[in-house]
Structure 1
């Protein structure tokens, strides 16, 4: 991405930038001076989206809304990607992108949804019969009420109940924990229970479009090749997007996808420009980071169950957690929502999800990473201190393809977190009304639909 370094010339001298910084420090102590933000906004507005490299595979992987959940998981897994555009199967190949795409499917969110169904199914299996789980009666009865109470939509409850009924009726669950407690039922089934979720009806036939309201569904908010890196940074910060598709106004298909990891690498390649280095060379303390205090950081204790960790991420709306030990909250590792795939695609791990601690999970998954060539890293945790420079944080995130780093003191006790959005906030700020008419107001409509 050398072109990022070559795109913008130094329109402002280092002396001018230093003067802005010193004047702000004298009056306010910390943070980025407003005048410097204007310079940074202007600089990033001149870095074109076309500076980002194409995807490693050279092609954009898409998923049809008519694809089954099984197919979606297989496609995302085989290509080792975390999200993909969802194509409207009713759209014509010549239709514009606004008709052709309906959203972005998020792999970790799909997996979490299936895990939720697994817990419902485990409870249902403990009842022992298809009739007890409401098959043929619309998930009626005490268990049906439990299912409805946990998930909300009756349609999803019916699917969970029917899946368990099919497993029992088909002999999958025969004499393997049925009629016992939920944990025994799920653990005893082992790999067969895993197969129920994606290989037995009706889960095998559930389409991506049918569960769009039951897990985090990202809107389709694209950019164009002649847009700027400023737009990319503001989109990730404002709308909390994991990836941003690139489209051309007159073409129907997605040309490229910019991920959070690509954005971090893009920032790293801006080094050497005075307008960038004037901020990147400052320490986190000088930049008034982290924004979140130690008491506000969501964390998980190493001895907690791994399933609890993933549920905590879902309920808290965060994509990763520091793993801590002891009253001092010493950081010993970190996990992200991306890591849920280890639990999902490894049946033996899945069967132990009710007994596997976070620390056990990290140790086992780390061994999988080493033997199978995956990039997930749980040890050592990504940490920094208040004296770490922003440039060093960006380099660390870029090298580990991560999106957050945890702040610790000299004893490795947790004191805060710095996310990619915190980093972006140091460089750019949203001009008033910046997205109001973007793509003819399509962004406003997409966010409105998502919130409804």
Structure 2
């Protein structure tokens, strides 16, 4: 067992190495330029990076309900926030004070597990027969039937799952494997059971944080270098890096991938930036994925399948395409889950909610029309890509080709950051030690 865990850990680190090595090997930049830039970032302290808007990091208490946490993220227009333990008192150790980070990805995972478990119950016959009515959801959950792990935290009663099992449906059949079936079976009951009533209103952030975490909570010191932050946000796939001031327990800053790219955009006009920004992004190893590797969703597929696909591939968004040529017609982001959760009344009349129905319903509430996806051509410069990402406050740009605007690649914030740096030998061993790689393996 220990050997299997070690192999798994080595594989995860190897995937980081493979990604970064591929990007580095494709760069058509003089080695001297890359070394100069990397050394420059290594000399810049984290304390010099601009503070979050308003100067104070938004934190969410661990006993906050998922519903209220989602409202905080939406109202503050942020994707994630550190979770603070309200029971630590005056502890000066950040390890006691903070439990991790809550983000849209964790909420999507939790909702999908709940939807799929509920679908098992509903597929027995109907919501009423399966016992998933308004009064059927309680604290006992699925644990009594042996359904443990992430699915158990949704709080559905044993009676609900039991009815499905009695009807000949295996309890594990619908969990995490069949979101289209889940959406097909749920209809309006999905919103009543998972979102409008319990457990959505009372499940706490701490409950889902333990089961749904894509990346470790890994703060850096204000005295650390920006190179370390850039490496964590690019090679090591973290989406945010908390900043701790030595000797003080509170988070001083919260640096995200988006904030880094916004900062790069403000460097326009400086020689070092312009030298790289004028290069076609293809000369810098992008797009990283081939067109065959792009994960997309057809407009007539179900919206729950879109979120499931993001979950399964650990990505934050999908291009919405149509036809065999994969002509891009829209974009669905993991952040869009907020519409399902905070405004379920918009969708309660849909028996089968497709991606296009979802996008048009959102558009009718905001601009009145579906916002076109942010795209670029294969010969675009890195500077134009950075400008599009920064000015539109988006996390990915789709590379299209031909008259049909076929999606042939995706460039993410992570990819852009990777263009500006490389990892010096033994960097993390020298600056962070063994513990960092242990945490990155989790």
Answer yes or no: same fold by TM over 0.5: yes
Q: Which string of whole-angstrom CA distances, capped at 9 and with x for unpartnered residues, describes residues 145-179 of structure 1?
A: 8xx4xxx52871772226969xxxxxxxxxxxxxx
Between 221-230 and 337-346, the greater mean CA deviation after superposition: 221-230
Say if 2:157 is the partner of 1:161. yes
Quote the offset at 1:314 in angstroms.
0.6
Counterpart Cα distance in 1 of 2:242 and 2:373: 30
1:436 aligns with 2:429: yes
3-state secondary structure, aligned to 2:429: coil
Kindly indicate whether the alpha-carbon contact (under 8 Å) linking 1:219 and 1:447 is maintained by their aligned counterparts in 2.
yes
Pair 345,435 (structure 1): closer, same or farther in 2 beyond 3 Å = same
List aligned pairs for 1:364-443, cutoff 5 A: 364-370=361-367, 379-411=371-403, 412-436=405-429, 438-439=431-432, 441-443=434-436
| Contact 1:279-1:390 at 8 Å conserved across structures | yes
CA distance in 2, matches of 1:70, 1:115: 15
Q: State how many pairs are aligned.
A: 392
Distance 1:184 1:41 in 2: 51
Shift of residue 212, structure 1, vs aligned partner: 2.9
1:430 CA drift (Å): 1.2
Find the aligned partners of 1:428 and 1:399 in 2 and give their Cα distance: 23
SS at match of 1:84: strand
Shift in alpha-carbon separation, 1:48–1:328, aligned structure 2, 3 A = same
- Shift of the 287–238 alpha-carbon distance from structure 1 to 2, 3 Å rule, reads closer
Q: 2:253 aligns with which of 256, 261, 272?
A: 256
Contact 1:159 1:203 in 2 (8 A): no
| CA-to-aligned-CA distance 1:206-244 (integer Å, 9 cap, x gap) | 332222343234322112333333222111013322222
Rg (Cα) greater in structure: 1
Distance across 1 between alignment mates of 2:341 and 2:138: 26
The offset of 1:71, in angstroms, is: 3.3
2:215 matched residue in structure 1:
218
Structure 1 CA distance for aligned equivalents of residues 408 and 151 of structure 2: 43
- Cα shift at 1:199: 5.8
The residue matched to 1:60 in structure 2 has which SS?
Answer: coil
Question: Does the Cα contact within 8 Å between 1:332 and 1:380 map onto a contact in 2?
Answer: yes
**Cα distance change on mapping 1:183 and 1:326 into 2, 3 Å:** closer
Which residue of 2 is the match for residue 10 of structure 1?
A: none
Look up the match of 2:242. Answer: 245
Aligned to 1:325: 322
Distance 1:69 1:394 in 2: 33
How far apart are 1:122 and its partner, in Å? 4.5
Q: Tell me if the contact between 1:69 and 1:203 (Cα under 8 Å) persists in the aligned partners.
A: yes
SS across alignment from 2:306: helix
Instruction: Give, in whole Å, the separation in 2 of the partners of 1:432 and 1:97.
Output: 29
Q: Within 1, Cα distance between the matches of 2:102 and 2:27?
A: 39
Residue 389 of structure 1 deviates from its aligned partner by: 0.5
Q: Secondary structure of 1:113's match? A: helix
Q: 2:283 aligned with 1:286, yes or no?
A: yes
Deviations 1:398-421 (A, max 9, x none): 011112111111321111111222
Matched residues in 1 for 2:121 and 2:363: separation?
Answer: 33
Question: Structure 1: where are the runs of 5+ without partners?
Answer: 1-27, 166-180, 372-376
Mapped to 2, the partners of 1:346 and 1:136 lie a distance apart of 25
User: For residues 74-103 of structure 1, what are the alpha-carbon distances to aligned partners after superposition, in whole Å with 9 as ceiling and x for unaligned?
Assistant: 332333322111123332324221321121
Unaligned runs of 5+ residues in structure 2 are: 1-24, 162-180
Offset from partner CA, 1:28-73 (integer Å, 9 cap, x none) = 9963333321111022224443343322243222122233323322
- Kept after mapping to 2: 8 A contact 1:280/1:389: yes
Structure-1 separation of matches of 2:186 and 2:63: 30
CA 1:185/1:405 → structure 2, altered by over 3 Å: closer, same or farther? closer
| Distance 1:429-1:186 versus aligned 2 partners, 3 A rule | same
1:98-123 per-position Cα deviation (integer Å, ceiling 9, x unaligned): 32112111133213412431342244
Q: Could you say what secondary structure the match of 1:32 adopts? A: coil
Distance 1:379 1:156 in 2: 37
2:249 is paired with a residue whose SS is coil
Is 2:99 aligned against 1:102?
Answer: yes
Q: Is the 8 A contact 2:42 2:228 kept in 1?
A: yes
After superposition, the Cα gap between the structure-2 partners of 1:353 and 1:416, relative to the gap in structure 1 and judged at 3 Å, is farther
Match of 1:71 among 48, 68, 72: 68
TM-score by structure 2 length?
0.78
For 1:348-363, what aligned pairs fall within 5 Å after superposition?
348-351=345-348, 355-363=352-360
Pairwise mapping of residues 51-90 of structure 1 onto structure 2 (< 5 A)?
A: 51-90=48-87
Task: Give the corresponding residue for 1:168.
Answer: none
Q: Which of 274, 281, 284 is the matching residue for 1:277?
A: 274
